[in-house]
Structure 1
Protein backbone atom coordinates (compact mmCIF):
# COMPACT_ATOMS: atom_id res chain seq x y z
CA UNK A 1 0.00 0.00 0.00
CA UNK A 2 1.13 3.58 -0.67
CA UNK A 3 -0.11 6.76 0.93
CA UNK A 4 0.68 8.81 -2.16
CA UNK A 5 3.28 11.46 -2.85
CA UNK A 6 1.35 14.73 -3.07
CA UNK A 7 -1.00 16.91 -1.05
CA UNK A 8 -3.88 15.79 -3.27
CA UNK A 9 -3.22 12.16 -2.33
CA UNK A 10 -2.20 12.65 1.29
CA UNK A 11 -5.12 14.73 2.57
CA UNK A 12 -7.67 11.89 2.07
CA UNK A 13 -5.26 9.49 3.80
CA UNK A 14 -5.03 11.66 6.92
CA UNK A 15 -7.33 12.04 9.90
CA UNK A 16 -10.26 14.29 9.06
CA UNK A 17 -11.16 15.36 12.58
CA UNK A 18 -12.41 13.79 15.79
CA UNK A 19 -10.24 12.05 18.36
CA UNK A 20 -6.51 11.81 17.71
CA UNK A 21 -5.33 8.54 16.21
CA UNK A 22 -2.16 7.28 14.63
CA UNK A 23 -3.88 6.25 11.40
CA UNK A 24 -1.07 3.94 10.37
CA UNK A 25 -1.03 1.91 7.17
CA UNK A 26 1.46 -0.82 6.40
CA UNK A 27 3.68 0.02 3.45
CA UNK A 28 5.67 -2.15 1.10
CA UNK A 29 9.42 -1.46 0.85
CA UNK A 30 9.00 0.09 -2.61
CA UNK A 31 6.49 2.59 -1.16
CA UNK A 32 8.79 3.67 1.66
CA UNK A 33 10.72 6.69 0.34
CA UNK A 34 9.91 9.03 -2.52
CA UNK A 35 11.80 8.62 -5.77
CA UNK A 36 11.59 12.38 -6.31
CA UNK A 37 14.97 13.89 -5.57
CA UNK A 38 15.61 17.61 -5.23
CA UNK A 39 19.00 17.35 -3.64
CA UNK A 40 19.88 20.97 -4.42
CA UNK A 41 16.99 22.37 -2.38
CA UNK A 42 17.73 20.10 0.55
CA UNK A 43 21.48 20.71 0.44
CA UNK A 44 20.88 24.47 0.48
CA UNK A 45 18.64 24.14 3.55
CA UNK A 46 21.22 22.08 5.42
CA UNK A 47 24.07 24.39 4.37
CA UNK A 48 22.24 27.56 5.46
CA UNK A 49 20.91 26.02 8.68
CA UNK A 50 23.60 23.74 10.18
CA UNK A 51 21.50 23.34 13.34
CA UNK A 52 19.12 21.25 11.21
CA UNK A 53 21.32 18.24 12.06
CA UNK A 54 21.81 17.25 15.69
CA UNK A 55 22.53 14.06 17.59
CA UNK A 56 23.13 12.67 21.03
CA UNK A 57 26.64 11.20 21.40
CA UNK A 58 25.46 7.60 21.70
CA UNK A 59 23.38 7.59 18.49
CA UNK A 60 26.28 7.18 16.03
CA UNK A 61 25.75 3.45 15.35
CA UNK A 62 22.05 3.94 14.65
CA UNK A 63 22.84 6.83 12.31
CA UNK A 64 25.21 4.64 10.33
CA UNK A 65 22.65 1.84 10.14
CA UNK A 66 19.93 4.26 9.00
CA UNK A 67 22.15 5.52 6.19
CA UNK A 68 22.89 1.92 5.20
CA UNK A 69 19.21 0.93 5.11
CA UNK A 70 18.40 3.99 3.01
CA UNK A 71 21.15 3.02 0.58
CA UNK A 72 23.36 6.03 1.14
CA UNK A 73 27.14 5.94 1.12
CA UNK A 74 27.09 8.34 4.07
CA UNK A 75 27.76 7.18 7.61
CA UNK A 76 25.26 9.44 9.35
CA UNK A 77 21.89 11.18 9.02
CA UNK A 78 23.52 14.39 7.85
CA UNK A 79 24.70 12.72 4.66
CA UNK A 80 21.77 10.38 4.18
CA UNK A 81 19.17 13.17 4.46
CA UNK A 82 20.78 15.01 1.56
CA UNK A 83 20.18 12.04 -0.72
CA UNK A 84 16.43 11.55 -0.12
CA UNK A 85 13.41 13.85 -0.06
CA UNK A 86 12.52 12.94 3.52
CA UNK A 87 13.81 14.39 6.75
CA UNK A 88 15.15 11.71 9.08
CA UNK A 89 14.84 11.21 12.84
CA UNK A 90 15.85 8.41 15.18
CA UNK A 91 14.00 7.23 18.27
CA UNK A 92 16.01 5.09 20.71
CA UNK A 93 16.05 3.80 24.25
CA UNK A 94 18.95 5.53 26.07
CA UNK A 95 21.91 3.34 27.11
CA UNK A 96 20.92 3.78 30.75
CA UNK A 97 17.36 2.63 29.98
CA UNK A 98 14.09 4.45 30.35
CA UNK A 99 11.60 5.79 27.83
CA UNK A 100 12.68 6.08 24.18
CA UNK A 101 13.86 9.55 23.17
CA UNK A 102 14.57 11.47 19.99
CA UNK A 103 18.26 10.67 19.69
CA UNK A 104 19.19 12.24 16.34
CA UNK A 105 17.68 14.17 13.47
CA UNK A 106 18.39 15.73 10.09
CA UNK A 107 15.43 18.04 9.50
CA UNK A 108 15.71 20.43 6.55
CA UNK A 109 11.99 21.21 6.30
CA UNK A 110 10.55 21.53 9.83
CA UNK A 111 6.88 22.29 10.39
CA UNK A 112 6.75 24.71 13.31
CA UNK A 113 9.26 22.91 15.55
CA UNK A 114 12.99 23.07 16.16
CA UNK A 115 15.18 20.02 16.49
CA UNK A 116 17.21 21.56 19.32
CA UNK A 117 14.07 21.82 21.44
CA UNK A 118 13.16 18.15 20.97
CA UNK A 119 16.50 16.33 21.02
CA UNK A 120 16.81 13.95 23.97
CA UNK A 121 13.15 14.28 24.89
CA UNK A 122 10.73 11.33 25.32
CA UNK A 123 7.90 11.12 22.81
CA UNK A 124 5.25 12.60 25.07
CA UNK A 125 7.40 15.74 25.44
CA UNK A 126 8.23 15.82 21.72
CA UNK A 127 4.49 15.93 20.98
CA UNK A 128 3.55 18.18 23.89
CA UNK A 129 2.21 21.08 21.76
CA UNK A 130 -0.43 18.80 20.20
CA UNK A 131 -3.64 19.32 22.14
CA UNK A 132 -4.90 15.99 23.53
CA UNK A 133 -1.80 13.94 22.64
CA UNK A 134 -0.96 12.91 26.20
CA UNK A 135 -4.53 11.84 26.95
CA UNK A 136 -5.58 10.28 23.65
CA UNK A 137 -2.49 9.02 21.86
CA UNK A 138 0.61 8.77 24.03
CA UNK A 139 0.03 5.25 25.36
CA UNK A 140 -0.76 3.90 21.90
CA UNK A 141 2.32 5.47 20.33
CA UNK A 142 4.56 4.14 23.10
CA UNK A 143 3.15 0.63 22.62
CA UNK A 144 3.62 0.81 18.86
CA UNK A 145 7.25 1.93 19.21
CA UNK A 146 7.96 -0.81 21.74
CA UNK A 147 6.49 -3.61 19.60
CA UNK A 148 7.37 -2.55 16.03
CA UNK A 149 9.01 -5.47 14.22
CA UNK A 150 12.09 -4.88 12.02
CA UNK A 151 10.46 -6.33 8.89
CA UNK A 152 7.51 -3.91 8.89
CA UNK A 153 7.16 -0.36 7.57
CA UNK A 154 4.20 1.80 8.54
CA UNK A 155 3.13 5.20 7.26
CA UNK A 156 0.67 7.93 8.06
CA UNK A 157 -0.18 11.41 6.83
CA UNK A 158 -1.17 14.72 8.36
CA UNK A 159 -1.69 18.22 7.04
CA UNK A 160 -1.89 21.84 8.12
CA UNK A 161 -3.30 24.99 6.54
CA UNK A 162 -0.62 27.67 6.39
CA UNK A 163 -0.07 31.04 4.74
CA UNK A 164 3.31 30.25 3.20
CA UNK A 165 4.80 27.83 0.68
CA UNK A 166 8.24 27.94 2.33
CA UNK A 167 9.79 24.51 2.72
CA UNK A 168 10.98 25.52 6.19
CA UNK A 169 7.86 26.56 8.11
CA UNK A 170 9.01 28.31 11.28
CA UNK A 171 6.75 31.38 11.59
CA UNK A 172 7.74 34.02 14.11
CA UNK A 173 5.07 36.64 13.50
CA UNK A 174 1.76 37.09 15.28
CA UNK A 175 -0.89 34.73 13.85
CA UNK A 176 -3.31 37.58 13.17
CA UNK A 177 -0.64 39.32 11.09
CA UNK A 178 0.29 36.07 9.34
CA UNK A 179 -3.21 35.55 7.93
CA UNK A 180 -4.34 39.18 7.71
CA UNK A 181 -4.11 39.22 3.90
CA UNK A 182 -6.28 36.12 3.42
CA UNK A 183 -9.83 36.63 2.12
CA UNK A 184 -12.48 34.37 0.63
CA UNK A 185 -11.63 35.83 -2.77
CA UNK A 186 -7.86 35.19 -2.64
CA UNK A 187 -7.74 32.11 -0.40
CA UNK A 188 -6.95 29.86 -3.35
CA UNK A 189 -3.61 31.60 -3.79
CA UNK A 190 -2.83 32.73 -0.23
CA UNK A 191 -3.66 29.59 1.75
CA UNK A 192 -1.54 26.47 1.36
CA UNK A 193 -1.99 22.91 2.54
CA UNK A 194 1.23 21.53 3.98
CA UNK A 195 1.21 17.72 4.20
CA UNK A 196 3.65 15.43 5.96
CA UNK A 197 4.06 11.84 4.77
CA UNK A 198 5.54 10.08 7.80
CA UNK A 199 6.93 6.55 8.01
CA UNK A 200 8.36 4.39 10.79
CA UNK A 201 10.54 1.29 10.62
CA UNK A 202 12.82 -0.42 13.12
CA UNK A 203 16.47 -0.85 12.24
CA UNK A 204 17.32 -4.53 12.83
CA UNK A 205 20.87 -4.19 14.17
CA UNK A 206 20.62 -1.29 16.62
CA UNK A 207 16.89 -1.52 17.32
CA UNK A 208 16.42 2.20 16.70
CA UNK A 209 13.21 3.37 15.04
CA UNK A 210 13.78 5.48 11.94
CA UNK A 211 11.09 8.12 11.50
CA UNK A 212 10.92 9.85 8.10
CA UNK A 213 9.01 13.02 7.20
CA UNK A 214 8.33 13.93 3.58
CA UNK A 215 6.89 17.44 3.14
CA UNK A 216 4.55 18.44 0.29
CA UNK A 217 3.00 21.89 -0.15
CA UNK A 218 0.22 23.06 -2.46
CA UNK A 219 -1.95 26.18 -2.78
CA UNK A 220 -5.67 25.55 -2.41
CA UNK A 221 -6.21 26.59 -6.01
CA UNK A 222 -4.18 23.62 -7.24
CA UNK A 223 -6.24 21.06 -5.31
CA UNK A 224 -9.45 19.35 -6.38
CA UNK A 225 -12.87 20.55 -5.20
CA UNK A 226 -13.20 17.37 -3.13
CA UNK A 227 -9.92 17.89 -1.28
CA UNK A 228 -10.62 21.59 -0.68
CA UNK A 229 -14.04 20.66 0.72
CA UNK A 230 -12.50 18.02 2.98
CA UNK A 231 -9.91 20.48 4.28
CA UNK A 232 -12.55 23.13 5.00
CA UNK A 233 -14.86 20.68 6.77
CA UNK A 234 -12.01 19.25 8.84
CA UNK A 235 -10.76 22.65 9.95
CA UNK A 236 -14.27 23.69 10.95
CA UNK A 237 -14.60 20.51 13.02
CA UNK A 238 -11.32 20.69 14.92
CA UNK A 239 -11.90 20.98 18.66
CA UNK A 240 -10.86 23.87 20.85
CA UNK A 241 -7.23 23.88 21.85
CA UNK A 242 -6.07 22.25 18.65
CA UNK A 243 -8.17 24.77 16.72
CA UNK A 244 -6.16 27.60 18.27
CA UNK A 245 -2.81 25.80 17.92
CA UNK A 246 -3.39 25.56 14.18
CA UNK A 247 -4.39 29.27 14.06
CA UNK A 248 -7.70 28.19 12.51
CA UNK A 249 -9.73 31.14 13.88
CA UNK A 250 -7.65 33.41 11.65
CA UNK A 251 -8.63 31.76 8.35
CA UNK A 252 -11.55 29.37 8.90
CA UNK A 253 -14.20 31.78 7.59
CA UNK A 254 -12.25 32.63 4.43
CA UNK A 255 -11.50 28.94 3.86
CA UNK A 256 -15.15 27.94 4.27
CA UNK A 257 -16.35 30.67 1.89
CA UNK A 258 -13.72 29.74 -0.68
CA UNK A 259 -14.65 26.05 -0.50
CA UNK A 260 -18.35 26.89 -0.83
CA UNK A 261 -17.65 29.04 -3.89
CA UNK A 262 -15.66 26.22 -5.47
CA UNK A 263 -18.53 23.79 -4.81
CA UNK A 264 -21.09 26.22 -6.23
CA UNK A 265 -19.04 26.71 -9.39
CA UNK A 266 -18.63 22.95 -9.81
CA UNK A 267 -22.35 22.39 -9.44
CA UNK A 268 -23.11 25.15 -11.94
CA UNK A 269 -20.75 23.66 -14.51
CA UNK A 270 -22.32 20.22 -14.03
CA UNK A 271 -25.87 21.50 -14.53
Structure 2
Protein backbone atom coordinates (compact mmCIF):
# COMPACT_ATOMS: atom_id res chain seq x y z
CA UNK A 1 0.00 0.00 0.00
CA UNK A 2 3.06 2.25 -0.09
CA UNK A 3 5.29 3.33 -2.93
CA UNK A 4 7.78 0.61 -3.78
CA UNK A 5 10.74 2.91 -3.20
CA UNK A 6 9.31 4.24 0.08
CA UNK A 7 8.80 0.94 1.90
CA UNK A 8 9.15 0.90 5.65
CA UNK A 9 11.59 -1.92 6.36
CA UNK A 10 11.75 -2.82 10.07
CA UNK A 11 12.57 -6.36 8.89
CA UNK A 12 15.98 -5.20 7.60
CA UNK A 13 17.80 -7.02 10.42
CA UNK A 14 18.54 -3.92 12.50
CA UNK A 15 16.29 -5.17 15.32
CA UNK A 16 15.47 -8.84 16.01
CA UNK A 17 11.88 -10.08 16.27
CA UNK A 18 10.34 -10.08 19.77
CA UNK A 19 12.59 -7.18 20.86
CA UNK A 20 11.06 -4.18 22.64
CA UNK A 21 13.27 -1.71 20.79
CA UNK A 22 11.85 1.67 21.85
CA UNK A 23 13.29 4.88 20.42
CA UNK A 24 12.54 8.53 21.13
CA UNK A 25 10.09 10.13 18.71
CA UNK A 26 9.86 13.70 17.47
CA UNK A 27 6.35 14.83 18.53
CA UNK A 28 5.91 16.46 15.12
CA UNK A 29 6.04 12.99 13.53
CA UNK A 30 3.68 11.36 16.04
CA UNK A 31 1.06 10.31 13.46
CA UNK A 32 1.71 9.04 9.93
CA UNK A 33 -0.62 9.91 7.07
CA UNK A 34 0.01 8.78 3.49
CA UNK A 35 -1.82 8.39 0.19
CA UNK A 36 -3.78 5.41 1.51
CA UNK A 37 -5.65 7.55 4.05
CA UNK A 38 -9.06 7.44 2.36
CA UNK A 39 -8.99 3.66 1.92
CA UNK A 40 -8.20 3.23 5.62
CA UNK A 41 -10.93 5.66 6.67
CA UNK A 42 -13.51 3.95 4.46
CA UNK A 43 -12.68 0.62 6.09
CA UNK A 44 -12.97 2.17 9.55
CA UNK A 45 -16.39 3.59 8.67
CA UNK A 46 -17.54 0.20 7.35
CA UNK A 47 -16.42 -1.53 10.52
CA UNK A 48 -18.13 1.14 12.61
CA UNK A 49 -21.40 0.44 10.83
CA UNK A 50 -21.08 -3.35 10.76
CA UNK A 51 -18.85 -4.45 13.66
CA UNK A 52 -18.84 -1.65 16.20
CA UNK A 53 -18.86 -4.03 19.18
CA UNK A 54 -15.66 -5.64 17.87
CA UNK A 55 -13.69 -2.43 17.34
CA UNK A 56 -14.47 -0.17 20.31
CA UNK A 57 -14.34 -0.66 24.08
CA UNK A 58 -14.17 1.78 26.98
CA UNK A 59 -14.40 1.79 30.74
CA UNK A 60 -17.07 4.23 32.01
CA UNK A 61 -14.68 6.72 33.63
CA UNK A 62 -12.47 7.32 30.58
CA UNK A 63 -14.46 10.11 28.93
CA UNK A 64 -12.08 12.85 30.07
CA UNK A 65 -9.01 11.03 28.80
CA UNK A 66 -10.76 10.22 25.53
CA UNK A 67 -11.45 13.92 25.01
CA UNK A 68 -7.84 14.66 25.86
CA UNK A 69 -6.72 12.31 23.10
CA UNK A 70 -9.27 13.77 20.69
CA UNK A 71 -8.00 17.30 21.34
CA UNK A 72 -4.39 16.17 20.98
CA UNK A 73 -5.16 14.57 17.61
CA UNK A 74 -7.06 17.64 16.44
CA UNK A 75 -4.18 19.93 17.41
CA UNK A 76 -1.62 17.66 15.77
CA UNK A 77 -3.52 17.46 12.48
CA UNK A 78 -4.41 21.15 12.38
CA UNK A 79 -6.19 22.02 9.15
CA UNK A 80 -6.26 18.35 8.17
CA UNK A 81 -8.64 17.57 10.99
CA UNK A 82 -12.28 17.60 9.95
CA UNK A 83 -15.29 17.01 12.14
CA UNK A 84 -17.21 13.79 11.61
CA UNK A 85 -20.11 15.70 10.07
CA UNK A 86 -18.10 17.73 7.56
CA UNK A 87 -16.13 14.62 6.61
CA UNK A 88 -19.37 12.81 5.73
CA UNK A 89 -19.06 10.44 8.68
CA UNK A 90 -22.47 10.86 10.32
CA UNK A 91 -22.08 7.59 12.16
CA UNK A 92 -23.73 6.56 15.40
CA UNK A 93 -23.34 3.78 17.94
CA UNK A 94 -25.65 0.76 17.54
CA UNK A 95 -28.08 2.28 20.05
CA UNK A 96 -28.17 5.59 18.15
CA UNK A 97 -25.86 7.56 20.42
CA UNK A 98 -22.94 9.79 19.56
CA UNK A 99 -19.66 8.01 18.93
CA UNK A 100 -17.19 8.17 21.84
CA UNK A 101 -14.49 10.82 21.50
CA UNK A 102 -11.66 8.30 21.18
CA UNK A 103 -13.35 6.63 18.23
CA UNK A 104 -14.18 9.98 16.67
CA UNK A 105 -10.49 10.84 16.79
CA UNK A 106 -9.56 7.48 15.28
CA UNK A 107 -11.92 8.09 12.34
CA UNK A 108 -9.55 10.81 11.15
CA UNK A 109 -6.46 8.60 11.26
CA UNK A 110 -4.89 5.50 9.80
CA UNK A 111 -3.77 4.66 13.35
CA UNK A 112 -5.69 2.64 15.89
CA UNK A 113 -5.85 4.24 19.36
CA UNK A 114 -5.48 2.41 22.67
CA UNK A 115 -5.78 4.17 26.03
CA UNK A 116 -3.68 2.61 28.79
CA UNK A 117 -4.32 3.39 32.48
CA UNK A 118 -2.34 2.49 35.61
CA UNK A 119 -4.08 0.43 38.28
CA UNK A 120 -3.27 -1.93 41.12
CA UNK A 121 -2.40 -4.74 38.69
CA UNK A 122 -0.29 -2.46 36.49
CA UNK A 123 -1.08 -0.71 33.21
CA UNK A 124 -4.29 -1.96 31.62
CA UNK A 125 -6.27 -1.42 28.43
CA UNK A 126 -8.97 1.03 29.56
CA UNK A 127 -10.39 2.13 26.20
CA UNK A 128 -9.58 1.50 22.55
CA UNK A 129 -10.59 2.03 18.96
CA UNK A 130 -8.94 -0.84 17.09
CA UNK A 131 -10.11 -1.47 13.53
CA UNK A 132 -6.98 -3.22 12.31
CA UNK A 133 -5.95 -5.85 14.89
CA UNK A 134 -3.12 -8.18 13.96
CA UNK A 135 -4.51 -11.56 15.03
CA UNK A 136 -6.02 -10.54 18.35
CA UNK A 137 -9.47 -9.84 19.75
CA UNK A 138 -10.03 -6.45 21.38
CA UNK A 139 -12.78 -7.61 23.74
CA UNK A 140 -10.57 -10.40 25.04
CA UNK A 141 -7.93 -7.81 26.02
CA UNK A 142 -10.31 -5.20 27.43
CA UNK A 143 -9.53 -4.05 31.02
CA UNK A 144 -6.73 -6.60 31.29
CA UNK A 145 -3.21 -5.65 32.46
CA UNK A 146 -0.33 -5.77 30.02
CA UNK A 147 1.20 -8.97 31.31
CA UNK A 148 -2.08 -10.72 30.51
CA UNK A 149 -2.49 -8.96 27.18
CA UNK A 150 1.00 -10.11 26.20
CA UNK A 151 0.54 -13.57 27.70
CA UNK A 152 0.41 -15.39 24.34
CA UNK A 153 3.62 -13.68 23.15
CA UNK A 154 6.67 -15.88 23.86
CA UNK A 155 8.85 -14.27 26.51
CA UNK A 156 6.40 -11.51 27.45
CA UNK A 157 4.00 -13.17 29.90
CA UNK A 158 3.60 -12.47 33.61
CA UNK A 159 6.85 -12.69 35.58
CA UNK A 160 9.14 -12.46 32.56
CA UNK A 161 11.93 -9.94 32.26
CA UNK A 162 10.26 -8.33 29.26
CA UNK A 163 6.99 -7.85 31.14
CA UNK A 164 8.86 -6.05 33.91
CA UNK A 165 10.74 -3.88 31.42
CA UNK A 166 7.54 -2.79 29.69
CA UNK A 167 5.90 -1.82 32.99
CA UNK A 168 8.93 0.28 33.96
CA UNK A 169 9.00 1.92 30.52
CA UNK A 170 5.36 2.90 30.90
CA UNK A 171 5.98 4.19 34.42
CA UNK A 172 8.93 6.31 33.28
CA UNK A 173 7.40 7.71 30.09
CA UNK A 174 7.57 11.50 29.96
CA UNK A 175 4.91 13.81 28.54
CA UNK A 176 7.43 15.66 26.36
CA UNK A 177 9.17 12.57 24.95
CA UNK A 178 6.94 10.08 23.07
CA UNK A 179 8.54 6.84 21.91
CA UNK A 180 8.18 4.54 18.91
CA UNK A 181 8.82 0.91 18.07
CA UNK A 182 8.12 -1.38 15.08
CA UNK A 183 6.69 -4.85 14.75
CA UNK A 184 6.28 -7.01 11.65
CA UNK A 185 4.77 -10.32 10.60
CA UNK A 186 4.06 -12.30 7.45
CA UNK A 187 0.44 -12.83 6.41
CA UNK A 188 -1.34 -14.69 3.63
CA UNK A 189 -3.57 -11.78 2.59
CA UNK A 190 -3.83 -7.97 2.63
CA UNK A 191 -6.86 -7.62 4.91
CA UNK A 192 -6.59 -4.84 7.47
CA UNK A 193 -9.07 -6.32 9.95
CA UNK A 194 -7.44 -9.51 11.26
CA UNK A 195 -9.16 -10.45 14.49
CA UNK A 196 -8.39 -14.16 14.49
CA UNK A 197 -5.04 -15.86 15.16
CA UNK A 198 -2.71 -16.82 12.35
CA UNK A 199 -4.02 -19.59 10.17
CA UNK A 200 -2.45 -22.97 10.81
CA UNK A 201 -1.65 -25.85 8.53
CA UNK A 202 -0.27 -26.10 5.02
CA UNK A 203 -1.41 -23.73 2.34
CA UNK A 204 -1.53 -20.51 4.33
CA UNK A 205 0.55 -18.83 1.63
CA UNK A 206 -1.23 -20.52 -1.26
CA UNK A 207 -0.70 -23.92 -2.90
CA UNK A 208 2.53 -25.39 -4.23
CA UNK A 209 6.05 -25.92 -2.96
CA UNK A 210 6.84 -22.19 -2.88
CA UNK A 211 4.89 -19.60 -0.85
CA UNK A 212 3.08 -17.16 -3.14
CA UNK A 213 0.43 -15.19 -1.23
CA UNK A 214 2.81 -13.46 1.16
CA UNK A 215 2.28 -9.98 2.59
CA UNK A 216 4.48 -8.01 4.94
CA UNK A 217 2.34 -6.63 7.76
CA UNK A 218 4.09 -3.88 9.69
CA UNK A 219 3.10 -1.97 12.81
CA UNK A 220 4.48 1.41 13.82
CA UNK A 221 3.62 1.66 17.51
CA UNK A 222 3.95 4.86 19.54
CA UNK A 223 3.50 5.65 23.22
CA UNK A 224 2.65 9.14 24.46
CA UNK A 225 1.84 10.16 28.03
CA UNK A 226 -1.16 12.47 28.41
CA UNK A 227 -0.43 15.59 30.50
CA UNK A 228 -3.83 15.93 32.18
CA UNK A 229 -5.00 12.38 32.95
CA UNK A 230 -1.58 10.75 33.22
CA UNK A 231 -2.86 7.94 30.99
CA UNK A 232 -0.85 6.74 27.99
CA UNK A 233 -2.12 6.73 24.42
CA UNK A 234 -0.75 3.80 22.43
CA UNK A 235 -1.08 4.19 18.66
CA UNK A 236 -0.80 1.37 16.13
CA UNK A 237 -0.26 2.28 12.48
CA UNK A 238 -0.56 -0.75 10.20
CA UNK A 239 1.08 -1.05 6.77
CA UNK A 240 0.63 -3.94 4.36
CA UNK A 241 2.99 -4.55 1.44
CA UNK A 242 3.05 -7.56 -0.88
CA UNK A 243 6.31 -9.46 -0.75
CA UNK A 244 6.62 -8.76 -4.49
CA UNK A 245 7.41 -5.14 -3.60
CA UNK A 246 10.93 -6.30 -2.69
CA UNK A 247 11.51 -7.51 -6.25
CA UNK A 248 11.79 -3.96 -7.58
CA UNK A 249 13.29 -2.41 -4.46
CA UNK A 250 16.95 -1.35 -4.81
CA UNK A 251 17.86 -3.45 -1.76
CA UNK A 252 15.26 -6.15 -2.25
CA UNK A 253 17.69 -9.06 -2.26
CA UNK A 254 19.37 -7.90 0.95
CA UNK A 255 16.02 -7.34 2.66
CA UNK A 256 14.75 -10.78 1.60
CA UNK A 257 17.95 -12.31 2.97
CA UNK A 258 17.50 -10.44 6.25
CA UNK A 259 13.93 -11.77 6.60
CA UNK A 260 15.17 -15.30 5.88
CA UNK A 261 17.86 -15.05 8.55
CA UNK A 262 15.36 -13.86 11.14
CA UNK A 263 12.83 -16.55 10.27
CA UNK A 264 15.49 -19.24 10.63
CA UNK A 265 16.54 -17.82 14.01
CA UNK A 266 13.04 -18.03 15.53
CA UNK A 267 12.58 -20.43 18.41
CA UNK A 268 9.83 -23.05 17.99
CA UNK A 269 7.37 -21.13 20.19
CA UNK A 270 8.12 -17.89 18.34
CA UNK A 271 7.71 -19.60 14.96
CA UNK A 272 4.35 -21.01 16.03
CA UNK A 273 3.20 -17.62 17.33
CA UNK A 274 4.08 -16.05 13.97
CA UNK A 275 2.08 -18.75 12.17
CA UNK A 276 5.15 -20.20 10.45
CA UNK A 277 5.39 -23.60 12.13
CA UNK A 278 4.45 -25.51 8.97
CA UNK A 279 5.21 -22.88 6.34
CA UNK A 280 8.83 -22.00 6.98
CA UNK A 281 10.37 -24.04 4.15
CA UNK A 282 7.96 -22.73 1.52
CA UNK A 283 8.47 -19.19 2.73
CA UNK A 284 12.26 -19.49 2.67
CA UNK A 285 12.06 -20.86 -0.86
CA UNK A 286 10.08 -17.81 -1.94
CA UNK A 287 12.45 -15.38 -0.25
CA UNK A 288 15.44 -17.04 -1.93
CA UNK A 289 13.94 -16.22 -5.33
CA UNK A 290 14.04 -12.46 -4.72
CA UNK A 291 17.02 -10.89 -6.40
CA UNK A 292 17.74 -13.97 -8.47
CA UNK A 293 17.78 -13.60 -12.27
CA UNK A 294 14.71 -14.87 -14.06
CA UNK A 295 15.30 -18.05 -16.07
CA UNK A 296 15.40 -17.56 -19.82
TM range (shorter): 0.7 to 0.9
Partner of residue 64 from structure 1, selected from 59, 63, 67 = 67
Matched, 1:155 2:173: no
Deviation at 1:10, TM superposition (A): 3.2
Matched, 1:217 2:220: no
CA contact (8 A) 1:15 1:158 kept: no
Structure 2 residue aligned with 1:246: 274
Matched, 1:203 2:226: yes
The within-5 A match list for 1:14-93 is 15-17=15-17, 20-36=18-34, 37-38=37-38, 39-51=41-53, 52-71=55-74, 76-93=101-118
TM-score (norm 1): 0.86
Structure 2 residue aligned with 1:190: 213
Q: Distance in 1 between matches of 2:194 and 2:253?
A: 25
Q: Judging changes above 3 Å, is the alpha-carbon distance between structure 1 residues 154 and 193 closer, same or farther for their aligned structure 2 residues?
A: same
Matched, 1:231 2:256: no
Structure 1: 5+ residue stretches without partners: none
Structure 2 residue aligned with 1:115: 138
Indicate the larger mover: 66-75 or 48-57: 66-75
TM-score (norm 2): 0.80
Q: Distance in 1 between matches of 2:50 and 2:155?
A: 35
The within-5 A match list for 1:141-152 is 141-152=166-177
Deviation at 1:93, TM superposition (A): 1.8
Q: Distance in 1 between matches of 2:52 and 2:123?
A: 25
Partner of residue 156 from structure 2, selected from 111, 115, 133 = 133
Q: Distance in 2 between matches of 1:169 and 1:6?
A: 24
Q: Distance in 1 between matches of 2:124 and 2:167?
A: 11
SS at match of 2:268: coil
Q: Judging changes above 3 Å, is the alpha-carbon distance between structure 1 residues 206 and 114 closer, same or farther for their aligned structure 2 residues?
A: same
Q: Distance in 1 between matches of 2:115 and 2:123?
A: 10
Q: Judging changes above 3 Å, is the alpha-carbon distance between structure 1 residues 105 and 13 closer, same or farther for their aligned structure 2 residues?
A: farther
Q: Judging changes above 3 Å, is the alpha-carbon distance between structure 1 residues 47 and 67 closer, same or farther for their aligned structure 2 residues?
A: same
